[in-house]
Amino acid sequence: MLPPLPSVLGLKKSFGFGDRLGLATPGHLAAANKWDFAPIFAQQSVREMERTRRTPVEVLAAAQSALAAASYTKPWGADADHHKTPEDIDKTAAAGFTFYTIDPSAFVNNEADRLSATDLEAAVTRLVVDNIFAPGWREEYQGRSFAVSEFLTLQFTPEQLARAAVKYGRALAHCATLASHISQVRGGEPFEIEVSVDETDAVTSPLDHLFCGLELKRRGVSIVSLAPRFIGEFEKGIDYRGDLGQFEAQLRDHVAVANHCGPYKISIHSGSDKFSIYPIIGRLCGDLLHVKTAGTSYLEALRVVARTAPALFAEITAYCRGCFDQDRRSYHLSTTQAEIDALPAYRDGQDEARFLDERVGRQLLHVTFGSVLTKGLDAKGRPFKDSILEQLRGHEGLHKEVVEKHFTRHLQLLNQG
């Protein structure tokens, strides 16, 4: 069977399965087959590809190979995640990815909410001088009420409009530039775009979201999904931390805005292991939902190592301690170095839960994946990555079983909503 090609998925609820090692697709597929989510089986960000030293071609080929072996013929997607530059896009487009997540975080002005009135107006003027907005642009928004749903009407005050423009104006212009580049390099082939504004300092308010959605539409950027930064904490590898009632109320407003401006899907980034809010997400979003996961599949691979080669797993956990302080800097985490220092050493075969089910151990292993997979050596001087892959290939059944179980829980709770 020829390798199946990824396709666009449209406005159908979807789920992204990140795979940092290239061997998790059989487990992902087994879980996906139980539910009606449109699957994205190839998904890896530019940052993750750099840290794992994988190419877009390798990421896509790993998924294709597993799907061909399973004679899979249904639609599936390939997410070129967190793209910031045209050069990023060139590489993933050449490989054949169909879904492009634009990350304009470098252009978001996180100081906008704290600027004085004088500095704020100066910043707005600069946006016009730099051709981010045309003169008179405020007339599109000022004095208008936006009935985004039967229960929600939004209106910008002059100050709110100015702060939204200063915060997101350059980022949205960058999105338009990258969207145009994607269209060019795809050469008429279908593609989908997601815009991510989740990696910002402040929570994305429904009014912020409305501004982004309307501006993207005005600039001719058609999106299939948008990822806000939600209230509460979406940390890597652990459950949601925050008030469930507040999250539900805000998500309801975001869904209304997405329907009004698109419709497009709400995308949940750092979406793995957020079990407490999955029923809420599934109930409120319906088909306008995309959930993105990444490192949790890597942790399930390490679970296989813990069960089949506990001595190797002990070496990996010890190595990770020395990398944590450096590797954690590009992630938002609650786990501290003091907690890592206080974590008891792994005891062969006895501490799986401590390292793979509890916050401190999971985040230790989660954020240090790049160091483990590209620099770490076992006691015999062999790269950790080679030893990990050997265990996974030698225990394919167990690997599929633990990955399938883990993602069945994800999808079951999302459908419970």
- Catalytic annotation, residues: 81, 194
Instruction: Count CA atoms within 13 Å of residue 49 on its CB side.
Output: 20
- The amino acid sitting at 147 is A
User: Using an 8 Å Cβ cutoff, are 39 and 131 in contact?
Assistant: no
Cα angle 294-367-48, degrees, rounded to a multiple of 5? 50
Q: What sign for the dihedral angle of Cα 363, 101, 301, 409?
A: positive
Collapsed DSSP state (helix, strand, coil) of residue 146: strand
Residues 6+ apart with CB under 8 A from 293: 15, 16, 17, 18, 271, 272, 407, 410
Q: How far apart are CA 313 and CA 296, in angstroms?
A: 16
- Half-sphere exposure for 164 (CA within 13 Å, toward CB): 23
| 194 bridge partner residues | 101, 225
Task: Name residues whose C-beta falls within 8 Å of residue 25's C-beta, 6 or more positions apart in sequence.
Answer: 17, 19, 41, 62, 63, 66, 67
**Structure-token pair, residue 375:** 């620099």
Both structure tokens of 119: 């500095």
Other C-beta atoms lying within 10 Å of the C-beta of residue 377: 14
At position 2, the amino acid (one-letter code) is L
The whole-angstrom separation of Cα 174 and Cα 84 is 9
- Give the three-state DSSP class for 267: strand
* Interior angle at CA 245, CA 244 and CA 246, nearest 5: 95
* Structure tokens, 39: 């699957």
Where are the strands (E) in 116-238, listed by range? 146-149, 152-154, 192-196, 225-227
d(CA 248, CA 243): 9
